A and B are shown apart, each in its own frame.
Chain A
Amino acid sequence: MLDKNGIAKRIAKEVKDGYYVNLGIGIPTLVANFVRDDISVEFQSENGVLGMGPFPFEGEEDADIINAGKQTITTLPGASFFDSALSFGMIRGQHVDLTILGAMEVAENGDIANWKIPGKMVKGMGGAMDLVASAENIIVAMMHTNRAGESKLLKRCTLPLTGVQCVKKIVTNLAVLEVTPEGFKLLERAPGVSVEDIKQATEGSLIVEGNIPEMQL
C-alpha cells in the first residue's frame, strides 16, 4: 500500500517531457517533488504563475508570490505571471497538457465530486470545475477509501458533482485505474496489494483482465 508520497511518486511517471502541468492542492502538490530532472516540465498555478519553483529559503518568502494553495513559492528561469482571466484562458483553451487533482468521489463513468458535502463542508470549487471541464488529460490522486473505510470509486457519485465524464485515470494508495466505457479498468497494483484487496475497496465496476502488474516506483 502506498502513502501520499507514494501516490505522488507514481503519478510523476505520467508527467512527460514538454508538459505544462496544473497541480491541485494536497497530494497533487507533492508530484512536483518526484518529476525526473532530465525532462523539461513547467508547473502552472491557476492564481497566475507558470514556471513555479520550490518553496523559498527561510527569510526569502514574498507575500506577493504564492501558489493556488496560498503557499509561498519561488519561480524558475522562464517563469511568467499573469491575471486570473488569462490563467483560465490557458486552462479552458486546453494549453495545459495535464491536470492532477484530488477527489472525494469518482464514478465509473468519469464523473468527479470534490467540492461540497451538503450541510457539512462547503469550501467551494475554486478552479476545479474549470479544470475538469476543459482539460483533455485528467489524473485523480486520492486514497482508495474514505476515513470510514468506504470506497471512493463508485458506480455513481453521491456528492454534488464537480464535472461529468471527465476523469481519465486514477492513482490511489492501492492501484492505478483507467476510466473506460465499461468501468474502472485495473492497470496496476500497489506494492503488497492483491487484486482481491482492490476489488474489496472498489464499489464501482472493476475490470480485471489478465495478470495485473505491481507498480514500478
Chain B
Amino acid sequence: MIKKTVADVSTALKGVEDGMTIMLGGFGLCGIPENAISELVRLGVKDLTCISNNAGVDDFGLGLLLQKRQINKMISSYVGENEEFERQMLSGELEVELTPQGTLAEKCRAAQAGFPAFYTPAGYGTEVSMGKETREFNGKMYVLEEAFKADFSLVKAWKGDEAGNLIFKGTARNFNPSMCGAAKITVAEVEELVPAGELDPNEIHIPGIFVSRIFQGKDYEKRIEQRTVRKRN
C-alpha cells in the first residue's frame, strides 16, 4: 500500500506559491475544501488563478480569498452569490473567465484523463466560442476546448483512507472527483480518514492513484446557502 496521509493541512499545502493555478472542488458552498481554503488565507499567497465552479459568498468559501485580494483570476461558471466578486469583476480588479459548467467539468476531467482538448456544442455561436476553433460533426457545430493545466487541486471528500481512496457524499461530490489527478499535486481533505482496508473497494469513487496527499479535515461548518424546508403534515 502506498501511503498518502499527511499530518495536517499545512503539510498538505506545502509548495503552494504566489501566482499558481489552483483547482478547488465544490458547488456553491457544498463540498468545498474548507480546511484548505482557510490555509490559503493563512498563508497569504497572492496572484492566484482559481478554477472553481463558484466563488463562494462574501464571508465564506472562496469569498475569504477574494476579501484578501489573493485571487487575480477566477475561472468559474456562476458567480451570482458574491457581491465582492461582482464588484471586483466589474471594476476590472479581478480577471474572470466564465466557462459553461459542463465545459468546466470536462476541462478538469480531460486534464485528469490525459486528453489535451475536446469538442463540445456548449457555447457555440456565443462569446464563449470567440477565438476558438469550431468544427462541424454530423451537421452540428462544436467548439474546441482545452484541458486545464493547474498546479494544485484541492478537493473535499466524505471518507478517505491512508491509500488516498475517496468516497463522496450526496451532491457534495460535484466537481471534486474530476479534479483529482487533474493538477500536478492533488490534496484531498476528508471528514473521516480511516486505515487502508476499512473502505470496501467496490464503494470507492476515486482511487488513491489520483490523490497525492490526504489529511483528516476538522471543524467543518458546511454552511447552507438556501435553507429550504417544508412543514410537517
CB within 8 Å of B: which residues of A?
45-49, 54-73, 81-85, 87-88, 91-92, 111, 115, 119, 122-130, 133-134, 160-164
Contacts and interface: CB of A to CB of B under 8 A. Distances in A.
A85 B178 contact: yes
Interface residues of B, number: 59
Interface of B: 27-31, 53, 76-81, 86, 89-90, 96, 98, 100-106, 108-109, 120-128, 158, 168-178, 205, 222-232
A64 to B, nearest CB: 4
A125 B102 contact: no
A124 B122 CA distance: 14
13 contacts: A49-B171, A66-B226, A69-B226, A84-B174, A84-B178, A85-B109, A85-B178, A122-B89, A122-B90, A126-B77, A129-B100, A130-B122, A161-B125
B228 A63 contact: no
B127 A160 contact: yes
Nearest to B103: A130
A161 B122 contact: no
B226 A72 contact: yes
Contact of A81 (B106, B109, B128, B173): B173
The CB with the most chain A CB atoms within 10 A, among B81, B102, B158, is that of: B102
B170 A127 contact: no
Contacts of B125: 111, 161, 163-164
Contacts of A68: 27
B53 A129 contact: no
A149 to B, nearest CB: 25
A101 to B, nearest CB: 13
Contact of B101 (A58, A66, A88): A88
Contacts of A49: 170-171
A65 to B, nearest CB: 4
